[in-house]
Amino acid sequence: MGIPSVGILLHEVIKLMYHAKVKDPIFFRIGTCGGIGLEGGTVVISEEAVDGMLKSYLELPVLGKMVRRPAKLDRQLARDIKALAHRDDPYDTIIGKTMCTYDFYEGQGRMDGAFCEFTENDKMEYLNKLHKAGVVNIEMESLSFAALTHHAGIKSAVVCVTLIDRFKGD
């Protein structure tokens, strides 16, 4: 879906919630992601959403001016979701920082797109930098999701399952 599409979706759903007079809604973004140091099948509950520069806000040009919206998720909601995990589950469930990108290929350090202007070593250095900063997964919606729900005063959480460990492949 990506940042632009999730923005459109949220504007429409938030308006619907308002007109339906829904009180205290809670929004969830559920999807897939690439793990960073996590095996495929790991469930990641996001405690924070950051962009490719590790900034936890969405920048959006509005009428020729750059608007910054903090990308905040409800940390208590994340802990409550984590508490639902059972030790006998056949997968791990963790809470961590999520990096959101505007691009599926270069923005995520993939080398299998039409263009690649960096080396495998560059990619691994970047993934290691992310890992050291606490980033555990990469996807394309959380930053906009967190920023817009926070801006609307809506509690929200992001839960994704990893498809692959990005240290091991694209």
| Topology annotation, domain 3-165 | Rossmann fold (3.40.50)
**Average pLDDT score, the chain:** 97
CA–CA gap between residue 48 and residue 73 (Å, rounded): 6
* Domain map (residue ranges) of the chain: 3-165
- pLDDT category at 16 given cuts 50, 70, 90 is very high
Could you say which DSSP state residue 83 is in?
T
Across the chain, the runs of DSSP E, i.e. the strands, are 26-35, 43-50, 57-62, 65-70, 93-100, 135-139, 155-165
Give the pLDDT mean for 118-134: 96
Q: Give me the pLDDT at residue 170, please.
A: 85
CA–CA gap between residue 129 and residue 11 (Å, rounded): 34
CA–CA gap between residue 74 and residue 153 (Å, rounded): 11
CA–CA gap between residue 33 and residue 25 (Å, rounded): 25
CA distance between the termini of the chain: 19
Per-residue pLDDT tens for 68-103?
A: 999 999 999 999 999 999 999 999 999 999 999 999
Give the pLDDT mean for 151-161: 98
Per-residue pLDDT tens for 35-70?
A: 999 999 999 999 999 999 999 999 999 999 999 999
Full-prediction pTM beyond 0.75? yes
